[in-house]
Amino acid sequence: MILGVLSEATVILAYTLRRTAILLVSLLIAATVLFVLLRLLPGDPANALLGVGATQEQIAAARAQVGSDQPLSVQFVSFLGNIARLDLGTSFVSRAPVLAEIGNRMAVTLPLTLIGFALALLFAIPLGIIAAVRSDRWYGAAISVVSQLGIAIPVFWVGILLVWVFAINLRWLPSGGFPLRGWSSWQEAATGMVLPALTIGLVMGASLLRYVRAATLDVLGSDFLRTARALGSSFPEALFRHGIRNGAVPVVSILGIELASTFLGAVVIERVFSLPGLGSMLLLAIQQRDYPNVQGVLFVSTLLVLLIGFAADIAQRLIDPRLRGRVQP
């Protein structure tokens, strides 16, 4: 038994190392694509430092300051070196370190993403199981229909609808904004997070509910569930002891995609509710042609999406032994 446990641990470790190598290569490719795409945009990054009517000497000095006068190969090597040192540069406009500014904005975006995703799970898992187990009842069919409607409705429209109901009509919650002192005013900050997080939870929950329902339906028709029932287990006992783990495997892979979608959706919702997160930082940087900020936000967002996929893959291997390959006892 000890040898079997060690073999499983070795297989998981080998897969983790292999998956880590893939993650690093993917990150390198993403950084390369990001660098190339930003350099293909019209205009020079130095223009963000110049006013109207700048002289040739001022233009040359600005280009030397931002490094756009160097060959692309030199710029690319410098870009990769800065990333390796966790240095995302300095904003052209505010002159603040980009990584520090992203950290400040993540204090809004990350809690919003996690709270919204937790609400989505809270909605999707029990309702998805009910919709599958009671698919022959009217309320099971109703849950499925409502989830389809939730997927079809744009996330920003849901946010506007919630503002109209809870902020304008009922006046229970603020329509948007975030305290200047951030989470130091935690009551105001938490109150301002309610409607944005609920918006994300409803929309992402409707999408996730479909996958939970489909996975539960597969479990209900499986041989192992019928065998458990034949051996004397009640239906709830057989479902929760044997069905949940098997049904969780396909759902976990979807969870990684949904969590990444939740993070990207939070960037959109921030604009609807006027939250000072990564979304507003990115849009402002694009308007001001602040290349270091644009580059930093996109790189960090890509990194988080890749890390979420990495964690989902590892979790799948831990849940389902079949995905680890044949292990000798």
Where do the domains of the chain lie, and which CATH numbers do they carry? 101-316 (1.10.3720.10)
Cα Rg of the chain (Å, integer): 25
pTM of the complete model: 0.79
Which 3 state secondary structure label does DSSP give 271? helix
Q: What confidence score (pLDDT) does residue 25 get? A: 92
Question: Nearest CA to 263 among 187, 206, 197, 210?
Answer: 197
Place of tokens 């446990």: 5
Q: Would the CA dihedral through 176, 181, 183, 187 be positive or negative?
A: negative
In DSSP terms, 97 is beta-bridged to: 90
In DSSP terms, 90 is beta-bridged to: 97
pLDDT digits (tens, 9 = 90+) for 86-105: 888 888 778 889 998 998 88
Q: What confidence score (pLDDT) does residue 119 get? A: 92
pLDDT digits (tens, 9 = 90+) for 123-182: 988 898 888 888 888 888 888 888 888 777 888 888 888 989 998 888 888 888 888 777
User: Which regions of the chain are under pLDDT 70?
Assistant: 1-8, 42-44, 46-54, 224-225, 229, 235, 237, 239, 241-250, 320-329
Q: What confidence score (pLDDT) does residue 326 get? A: 44
Q: What confidence score (pLDDT) does residue 164 get? A: 92
Identify the burial level of 2 via C-beta atoms within 10 angstroms of its C-beta, where 0-12 means exposed, 13-18 middle and 19 or more buried. exposed
